[in-house]
Structure 1
Amino acid sequence: MVQGSSYICSLVQSLRSASFPSKLANYSGYTSRAASNSLRHPSTYSEDEYADVDWDKLGFGLTPTDYMYVMRCSKDDNFKEGRLSRYANIEISPSAGVLNYGQGIYEGTKANRTEDGRILLFRPDQNATRMMHGAERMCMPSPSIQQFVDAVKETVFANKRWIPPPGKGSLYVRPLLVGTGPILGLAPAPEYTFLVYASPVRNYFKEGTAPLNLYIDEEFVRASPGGAGGVKTITNYAPVLKAIARAKDRGFSDVLYLDAVNRKYLEEAKLITKEPRWTIYREIVSQLLL
C-alpha cells in the first residue's frame, strides 16, 4: 500500500516518461547477477561447520563474526596487499577525513549456501565497479576489481561457519572504503583504509517477503541534480533517518522519495536499487489504478 492517492497521476507520468528508463540504462553496469561466483565445488557439509546461532530467530542486525579483511594505502598510491585479522574495533585519529568530512563509501553483498553444499556470492564484481566509480567522485584511491573480489572471498571463507543453512538467511558482506588519515583543512585524507566485515542476516524488513507499506515523503528528498546521489557515500544515509523514523511512527515500512526539482515524480526508495525499483513502481501504480 502507498500513502497519497492524489499522487496517482504524477506517478503514472513519471513512470511513463522517456527519461526514466534511459536513466536506468546508465546503470547497466550494476545489473544484478544472482549466484555470480561459486566459492567451492559441490560437497556435503556437517553441522559442526556452523556457528552457535539460532538461525530461526535471525533478523537483520549485527552478529559479530570471526574475521575481517583490512588493506591500507596513501592518497597518491595504490592498494597493494591486505590481510585478514580478528574482527575487532579499529583505531582511528580524531581528525580522520571520514570523521570530519564524511569521506567514505560502502558496499553490500551476500553469500548464500545451497542445498548441494556450495557457497555462492552475489555479483561482487559489480559492487567493485560501483565502489571504483564512487571513489573517483569522493577523491579516494580504490582497490581494483580483482582486489575487491578477492577480499570479499577471503572474508567469506574465513567466516564460513557463520553462513546460515540453506533457506535460513545469508552472510551479509560489508566492504568499506574510508579516509582514515588525519586532516584538518577540507581536503582529501592522506591515508585510506579498505575494510571488509560480515554478519549473518535474514530479511531486512519485518514483513519478510510480504508487500511493503510505503510512505511518500513530500518534505525530504533523497538526492538532487549535481549532488552525490549516484554514489554510495556514507554521507547520503544519515539525512534520511528523520524521514524513516517519521514513516515508521506512522506505521509504514519505508519511504518513497519525490524528485528534488518538481516534487512530484518518484525518485527512489531508501533500500531499492535502480532495476528492481522500476518493477516495484510499476506494480504500485497498477495497484493504485485498480
Structure 2
Amino acid sequence: MSINANIDWSKLGFTYTKTDLRYVSKWKDGKWDDGKLVEDNNITISEASTALHYGQQCFEGLKAYRTRSGKIQLFRPDENAKRIRKSCKRILMPEIPIEKFVDACVQVVKANESFVPPYGTGATLYLRPYVIGIGDNLGVRSAPEFLFSIFCCPVGPYFKGGMAPVNFMIAEEFDRAAPHGTGAAKVGGNYAASLLAHTNAVEKGFADCIYLDPATHTKIEEVGAANFFGITNDNVFVTPKSPSILPSITKYSLMHIAKEYLKLEVQERDVPINNLSDFKEAGACGTAAVITPIGGIAYNNELHVFHSETEVGPVIKKLYDTLYGIQFGEVEAPEGWLVEVK
C-alpha cells in the first residue's frame, strides 16, 4: 500500500490538510443520488441555504487506522452512521442509509490511501462526514435540497502533548446546550456556542472547559468537545448520563472495554460537581481526543487534582492501551467493531 512520503507524520496536529478526493451526494425530490468522488475541496451553494442562516447542518467524526501489517481499517463506522441519522432526524434533514454512509467512508479512505499514516506514528486518517441544507429558501423551514459529503485529513493528537494529563476549568457562566435542546445531536450550533467558553479557558491556561448540566448547574456533563469519565476510588468506571450529552462512540466503546476487558463495574449516572473527591482518575474521551487524562479541574477558585498533573493514571493507561490496540489491530476487537478497507 502506498504512503505519502511528503508528510512528516510526527509533526501532525489536529489541522486541515487537503487530500486528493472527497465524496459528495445530493438529496433532491425525495431521494439521495448515487454520490461520487470529486477533486474540488470547495462547495458552491445558494446564498439562501438553510445551513447558512438557520444552522440546518450536522456532522460526524471517525478515523481510519493502518495496522502493523499495512491493512487499513475503520473503527465502528456503523455507529457514526446511526448517530448522524439521529442528528438529521432532530433538525429535519433526510436520513442517510447506514449502508450508504459506510460505503462512502470506505470510498474516501481508498481514494486517499496514501494519506493514511504509517503504523507506529500515532497518527490517523480523520474523516469528517457532514450534511447541510442547501437550495433557495428564505423562510424558517427545512431546506428543499441537501448535500452529504465526506472529506478526510491525516491528523495527530487533538490536544498538544498527546496522552498526557491536562487541566480543565468549569464553565460556570456558560451552558453548552439547553435542557431540551440539541445537545444530543452533533450539530454545529452546539460547537459555535462553546467557542467563547473554550477561548476563555485557554486564555486562563487550561486545555478546555467542562460544562455542567444546564438545568441545575450541579452535575458534570461534557468536557468541551469530548465526553467526561472518571474512575472512582473503588475502581468503578463512571460517566455522566443526560439527555443533553452527545452520545460518544468512544465513550460507549470504553464502557464496553472497562467491563469486558478490565472487569470493572460500569455506571452511567449523574456526576455531581461537588463529589470530585470520589474519583482517583478522570479523563475526556472522543474520536478526536481518543482519551485525554484530566490532571485537575478548577472549580470555585480551587484546583482539584486527580491522579497527577504530570503522569497518566494506571486505569486510564490500560483503557487507552486496549482501545488503541483494538483500533490498530493489536488487540482482538469485539465482533463488528472494525471494517477493513479493501
Q: 2:161 aligns with which of 185, 207, 222?
A: 207
Task: Determine if contact 1:78/1:142 at 8 Å carries over to the other structure.
Answer: no
Distance (Å, rounded) in 1 between the aligned partners of 2:127 and 2:9: 17
Whose helix proportion is higher, 1 or 2? 1
Distance (Å, rounded) in 2 between the aligned partners of 1:102 and 1:229: 14
Amino acid in the other structure paired with 2:227: T
Amino acid in the other structure paired with 1:120: Q
Per the alignment, in what secondary structure is the counterpart of residue 227 of structure 1? coil
**TM-score, scaled relative to structure 2:** 0.67
Amino acid in the other structure paired with 2:279: S
Query: RCO greater where, 1 or 2, for CA within 8 Å and sep 6 or more?
Result: 1
Task: Name structure 2 gaps, 5 residues minimum.
Answer: 231-237, 240-250, 255-270, 281-303, 307-342
Aligned twin of 1:222: 176
RMSD of the TM alignment (CA)? Answer: 2.1
Task: Name structure 1 gaps, 5 residues minimum.
Answer: 1-44
Per the alignment, in what secondary structure is the counterpart of residue 273 of structure 1? strand
Amino acid in the other structure paired with 1:54: D
Task: Determine if contact 1:106/1:233 at 8 Å carries over to the other structure.
Answer: yes
Amino acid in the other structure paired with 2:153: S
Aligned twin of 1:128: 81
Aligned twin of 1:158: 111
Task: Determine if contact 1:64/1:87 at 8 Å carries over to the other structure.
Answer: no
Identity %: 40
Structure 1 runs of 4+ with >3 Å offset = 273-277, 279-285, 287-290
Task: Determine if contact 1:110/1:121 at 8 Å carries over to the other structure.
Answer: yes
Q: 1:89 aligns with which of 24, 42, 45?
A: 42
Q: 1:286 aligns with which of 265, 271, 279?
A: 279
After TM superposition, give the deviation of residue 86 of structure 1 in Å: 0.5
Amino acid in the other structure paired with 1:86: E
Distance (Å, rounded) in 1 between the aligned partners of 2:45 and 2:305: 53
1:1-290 matched pairs, under 5 angstroms: 45=1, 48-74=2-28, 77-168=30-121, 169-273=123-227, 278=239, 285-287=278-280, 288=304
Amino acid in the other structure paired with 2:24: V
Task: Determine if contact 2:221/2:228 at 8 Å carries over to the other structure.
Answer: no
After TM superposition, give the deviation of residue 264 of structure 1 in Å: 1.6
**TM-score, scaled relative to structure 1:** 0.79
Q: Deviation digits for residues 130-172 of structure 1, max 9, x if unmatched? A: 0111111110102100000000000000000001111320000
Task: Determine if contact 1:175/1:196 at 8 Å carries over to the other structure.
Answer: yes
In structure 2, the CA distance between the partners of 1:171 and 1:283, relative to structure 1 (3 Å rule), is: farther
Per the alignment, in what secondary structure is the counterpart of residue 63 of structure 2? strand
Distance (Å, rounded) in 1 between the aligned partners of 2:188 and 2:11: 29
In structure 2, the CA distance between the partners of 1:194 and 1:258, relative to structure 1 (3 Å rule), is: same
After TM superposition, give the deviation of residue 88 of structure 1 in Å: 2.0
Distance (Å, rounded) in 2 between the aligned partners of 1:241 and 1:147: 32
